[in-house]
Structure 1
Amino acid sequence: MVEAFMLIQTEVGRAEVVAKQVAALPGVLSSEYVTGPYDVVVRVTSETMRTLQADIVSGVQAVEGITRTLTCPIANEAGGLETA
């Protein structure tokens, strides 16, 4: 399994609507609208990096109101943050 965070910028006033629409897409584990340089933070999962890019990321980017995305694959094998 491959997991990633997607950081999304939206058109002004569209963050809440985009977050709700993205939450309903296949492969989306969570979708929250936030404050800061990005408007929505999404956690996604897929079987492979190829399907993550081809299916999940493409599906998210097709949502109306999104102006920019940044996909950040999670680096460690456990799919979460490592602790010291």
Structure 2
Amino acid sequence: MQAYVLIQTEIGYSLKVLPALREVSHVKRADGVIGPYDIVALVDSSDIDGIGKVVVESIQIIPGVTRTLTCPLTEII
């Protein structure tokens, strides 16, 4: 299962958060974006609980991260 995680950071922290985020084992990609969120990360895990664990235990603890929004991918079109 995969999910996009939208991440807000403290002002001036995006460039510090990105390298740390890219070191998280289940983060497949992380990119800076413009808008209400500063970074979008693609997270991969075996199930939704695993994704939640990655977000809470590995992403939200990175210094400078202030808020996350997890958007699980779906096959429904």
Same fold (TM over 0.5): yes
- Cα deviation, 1:23-58, whole Å, max 9, x if unaligned, reads 11010000111111110010000011111112x111
The alignment's C-alpha RMSD in Å is: 1.3
Distance of 1:37 and 1:72 partners within structure 2 = 15
The equivalent residue for 1:50 is 49
1:9 aligns with 2:18: no
**Superposition misfits of 4+ residues, deviation over 4 angstroms:** none
Distance of 1:40 and 1:51 partners within structure 2 = 20
Amino-acid identity (%): 36
Structure 2's unaligned 5+ residue stretches are none
The equivalent residue for 2:21 is 22
Distance of 2:75 and 2:55 partners within structure 1 = 20
TM-score, scaled relative to structure 2: 0.91
Which is higher, the Rg of structure 1 or of structure 2?
A: 1
Name the SS for the 1:9 alignment partner.
strand
The equivalent residue for 1:61 is 60
Name the SS for the 2:52 alignment partner.
helix
